[in-house]
């Protein structure tokens, strides 16, 4: 009976070790997913900024509107980056 208990405890420790490895893999995958999501969001914003900067012939009113759009995109990028950083930190605490 004692031998069987030892075998069971040994198997439990082995499974616990595998679970810890799986948990670490999941944590790394989650970090990579969040990083890729952030890159995807930032790429869209950078494309829009580049499009707006490429417009060279604008009259005064159009120029003001485009500049305001540019400022808004920069604000969006900063907000998204901050939100993603906060979410990443919270998710890393939970894992």
**Greater confidence, 72 or 52?**
72
The domain ranges of the chain are 2-94
Question: What is the reported pTM?
Answer: 0.47
Judge contact between 37 and 88, C-beta under 8 A: no
> What tokens were used for 32?
């990579």
* Predicted pLDDT of residue 10: 92
- Per the listing, tokens 């969040």 go with 34
| pLDDT one-digit tens code per residue, 7-45 | 889 999 999 999 999 999 999 999 998 888 888 877 887
| pLDDT one-digit tens code per residue, 52-71 | 777 655 556 677 787 888 88
Determine the Cα–Cα distance for residues 53 and 71; give it in Å rounded to an integer.
12
């Amino acid at each position: 009976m004692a031998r069987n208990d030892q075998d069971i405890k040994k198997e439990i420790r082995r499974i616990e070790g595998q679970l810890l490895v799986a948990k670490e893999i999941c944590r790394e995958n989650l970090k990579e997913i969040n990083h890729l999501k952030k890159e995807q969001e930032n790429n869209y914003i950078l494309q829009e900024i580049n499009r707006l900067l490429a417009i060279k012939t604008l009259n005064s009113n159009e120029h003001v509107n485009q500049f305001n759009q540019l400022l808004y995109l920069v604000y969006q990028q900063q907000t998204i980056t901050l939100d993603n950083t906060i979410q990443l930190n919270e998710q890393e605490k939970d894992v």
